[in-house]
Amino acid sequence: MNRWLVRIGVGLALALPMAMLTIVWAAPPVPQSTAPETVSNCQTCHSEFAESWAKGSHGMAIADPAFREMWVAQGSPHQCLTCHATGYDPTTDTWQAEGVTCEACHAPVPANHPQEPAPIDRTSQACGTCHTEGLFEWQASKHRQAGLDCIHCHDPHATQLKSADPSDLCSTCHRDLGTRFAHSAHSREGLTCADCHLAPEEGPKGQAHSERDHSFRVSLSTCNTCHSTEMHDPGSIHNVNPTPATLDPMASVEKLQVTATPSPVGPLGFALLSALIGMASGMVLAPWLERWYRRLNKNRNE
């Protein structure tokens, strides 16, 4: 009995330090910023833009509570900082400024600015550096073929549409279609252009990621949201107010998606494994340690 108690004690003596070391080693480090934010310099002359920027998604890219909660829940992956911080360097794990600052689109700022204007990247490819989903869909759209970029509809400073009503933006170019649509059954039901041509993306999307389909195509699933029971039969023989659960027969299948984002793994599991290894090693080594201890005492007594 005493021998088993000794073995268990030695096992615990090894298990606890190994578990603590594993927690320290496996915990993700918190990256540190190496340079102060430079937005205050721009605010001196561009106060209106700086104010709208500070309240927008770009200015709150790393400070937004929703992002931070989601980021920490996923184990604080550093690859997120490529878009949520300006000038992030993965080799040194540092960045120039928190959030998407002016330098993200206006770099490099000339040393003699404002005498020399700062560069401006207005291209959709600049937006697509982070908004990859939206850029991919936009490239297959008629808007790209017509020479329309992201900034024609989106305000990059406030990160909002240039109009509170998306249909107003559509009518800027599609006046005839907008006029006819105003007298349609869809319009009488309260639908707008964006409800069909900017349908919500299928599958879960992260905070501030692309939540609307920017190909501007009306898909069959979009029509089925309201007309799933009217494909081939008169609507009079079907339920005119179908429940959301019966709108799309493929909804249950579409939820089974493979995601490229791995599930976060906390250090607790590694610590438990290390503790078990330490416990087993201690119990195996206990008899050898006991013999060594006895020989040491015997030599001292002699």
* pLDDT for the residue numbered 225: 81
DSSP of 70-139 = HHHHTT--GGGHHHHEET-BTTTTEESEEBS-THHHHPSPPTTTTTSPPP---SHHHHHTT-HHHHHHHH
Residue 245 lies inside a defined structural domain of this protein: no
* pLDDT for the residue numbered 159: 87
* pLDDT for the residue numbered 165: 83
Expressed as residue numbers, the domain containing 99 is 30-107
Residue 192 lies inside a defined structural domain of this protein: no
Residue 125 lies inside a defined structural domain of this protein: no
Encode the chain (302 residues) as per-residue pLDDT tens digits: 566 666 667 666 766 776 677 666 665 555 544 443 455 578 888 888 888 898 888 988 888 888 888 888 888 888 889 999 998 888 888 888 888 988 888 888 888 888 898 898 889 999 988 888 888 889 989 999 999 999 999 998 988 888 888 888 888 888 888 888 888 888 888 888 888 888 777 655 544 566 788 888 888 888 888 887 776 655 554 454 544 444 343 333 334 344 444 455 556 666 677 767 767 776 676 676 667 767 777 666 66
* pLDDT for the residue numbered 67: 86
Residue 230 lies inside a defined structural domain of this protein: no
Residue 50 lies inside a defined structural domain of this protein: yes
* pLDDT for the residue numbered 260: 42
**How many other β-carbons are positioned within 10 Å of the β-carbon of residue 21?**
13
Give the closest residue to 41 by CA, choosing from 49, 33, 29.
49
Residue 273 lies inside a defined structural domain of this protein: no
The pair of three-digit structure tokens given for residue 51, joined into one six-digit string? 């104010």
pTM > 0.75: no
Residue 57 lies inside a defined structural domain of this protein: yes
Give the closest residue to 156 by CA, choosing from 46, 43, 52.
52
Residue 300 lies inside a defined structural domain of this protein: no
Q: How many domains does the chain have?
A: 1
